[in-house]
Structure 1
């Protein structure tokens, strides 16, 4: 049986000029051969040929647009505004009817955080050390309780963290969520190509691969069974966010309401860019088509770098990677995924040389290919549904340990976000000269999801904060441990 499969795959690889991948076949054990054949059987050689011809063998010109226009944003939520109240009513009714599912991109590792596990398991809580996954699970639990509904949770995981992610959930008993409502969807991997368009071997019996990008959510939702499950449940909308954004309102009734009232296929949240060079994608209209232009491409479109007299970017809407996608739209995109845009990146890819020795390249040696979920906006047939948000309490991504978009910044944003909650409850919160909260604060989403809810529960229970504090799901408190004072320091 294996001989037949081997013959078929050798012939297929040879037909596409990739038969070199069998160079070390004779050195492989039987089990290694079986694993290698299984990997090769999943390779889309036709797609790789198309990508090679389009991106490697041809000098692909940058896209040119005759016009690039700003998008019209829905203003930030104002509870006194009639449109916002209508959106809230529509969104809450949609939720109560069980028509919402939660999708989270969770395929990353914690490597850049100095953490040896899935990024979602990173202990982001400054006092509680609760993980990103726990924050999100508690939000879902709280919303299920509030709306008396099941919110199925679909997580896209990668080859590198699938088993570890599942084990982490098991260890924590899914934080009270029912297992049958949590799904781990494998993300597709795509082989890497060298500058000649040849497949790269990671080892004698394994191709070098990389995840197919967050646009791979479309295939993962269908291939992983989420769409089928959603149809059975009556779910019509997937909310979309990324695991490294602790602040994401994974289920926002205002946002859902705007999506529903405008009969949208795909909707987005946007934040105002800090400056024209901020490393975020830019929402805009290019020749009548809704686009997000990646920050790495901004130099090709000088108008996107224009600023007002005040110094603010003319094209202000930045992309925080928070969307809503109708289930029907996901199915449509899947049926036509062969025309979905791909992007390339020239990277340093660990490999083996012609004698089978491992190589850790010092310079880029191959291409990785990926898709971006925001490119799905190019296929909508309605005006943009783009809700402006404030960053604090909605968008604080964690990409590294220190600096911009870091663990340190995220923990400070937690304290700054929750400080007004404590103040609303009558507590004096210490602040520094810049107005930032000077102690660590945490509030479990399972305890309160809003300032008003928190103030009602905590009113009068604390007078002044002298140290950091975490409020847990049941209302119990943990105080941040302070360094022991020096012997000569008698301050209490």
Structure 2
């Protein structure tokens, strides 16, 4: 479902001179296990689902409408290479990006010659997350592009999620066919999966539509600046 090198996201980042940009969709289900965009210590950052308190997961904005923490991270980023390289040169700053987690770490038993899976957490694991980079971005240099979940995101964690993924792909293919075909009734009601990357390489139709989206956005951006 991910739009690799989405020109809309790239254009948004370029036109606003951003150091980082991430895609989000509006979170509606409090029980959905996704990380969310937050402001922590006056810096924008991401918090994992299990880091939020129950009251924070279900908190709603004044008026009882949308969830307060409603920007769900899709883990699709555009980052400034120059800024990343600059950050990597500073070991002190780089070390701050590591996340420490007390977890189950497997070990190797030389006598039994096998890998041992622990029953309980037995050690610390240090991981370097690319999204920790956001806390080093100035407020005006971090952008969030909110998109429709239906066409760009499907969480596949368990085997039972495969049916949802298949349905999402078929729905996206159907929407594409209805948009570009002249004989729209030909495939109506049929389950057909379209390889959108292959279509883009063989036809200018999809590329033209993406270009049109970017141009429309840039025109709107210029209008707002005026």
TM range (shorter): 0.7 to 0.9
Contact 2:169 2:193 in 1 (8 A): yes
Could you tell me how far apart the structure 1 residues matched to 2:31 and 2:102 are?
A: 20
Q: Which residue of 2 aligns with 1:401?
A: 159
C-alpha deviation, 1:324, in angstroms: 0.8
Q: Distance in 1 between matches of 2:64 and 2:139?
A: 32
Unaligned regions of 5+ residues in structure 1, if any?
Answer: 1-246, 431-437, 457-492
CA displacement 1:129-166 (0-9 Å, x = unmatched): xxxxxxxxxxxxxxxxxxxxxxxxxxxxxxxxxxxxxx
Structure 2: distance between partners of 1:380 and 1:360 = 39
Change (3 A) 1:357 1:447: closer
Which residue of the partner structure matches residue 252 of structure 1? 6
Q: In the alignment, which residue of structure 2 is the partner of 1:374? A: 131
| Residue number in structure 2 paired with 1:413 | 168
Per-residue CA deviation, residues 239-290 of structure 1 (Å, 9 max, x unaligned), is xxxxxxxx21111222112211221111111111132231111102123101
Aligned positions of 1:422-437 closer than 5 A: 422-424=177-179, 425=181, 426-427=184-185, 428-430=187-189
The aligned residue for residue 361 of structure 1 is 118
**Residue pair 1:267, 1:386 contacting (<8 A) in 2 also:** yes
Aligned 1:79-478 pairs, distance under 5 A: 247-299=1-53, 302-303=55-56, 305-308=58-61, 312-336=66-90, 337-352=94-109, 355=111, 358=114, 359-383=116-140, 384-403=142-161, 407-424=162-179, 425=181, 426-427=184-185, 428-430=187-189, 439-448=191-200, 453=205
Higher percent of residues as helix:
2
Question: Residue 173 of structure 2 contacts residue 192 of structure 2 at CA under 8 Å; is this kept in 1?
Answer: no
Unaligned runs of 5+ in 2: 209-226
Take 1:344 and 1:282, find their aligned partners in 2: how far apart are those partners? 19
TM-score, with length taken from structure 2: 0.74
Distance 1:388 1:346, change over 3 A: same
Q: Offset at 1:393?
A: 2.8
Contact preservation (8 Å) 2:100, 2:124: no
Q: Is the 8 A contact 2:36 2:71 kept in 1?
A: yes
Matches of 2:31 and 2:87, distance apart in 1: 31
Larger Rg: 1
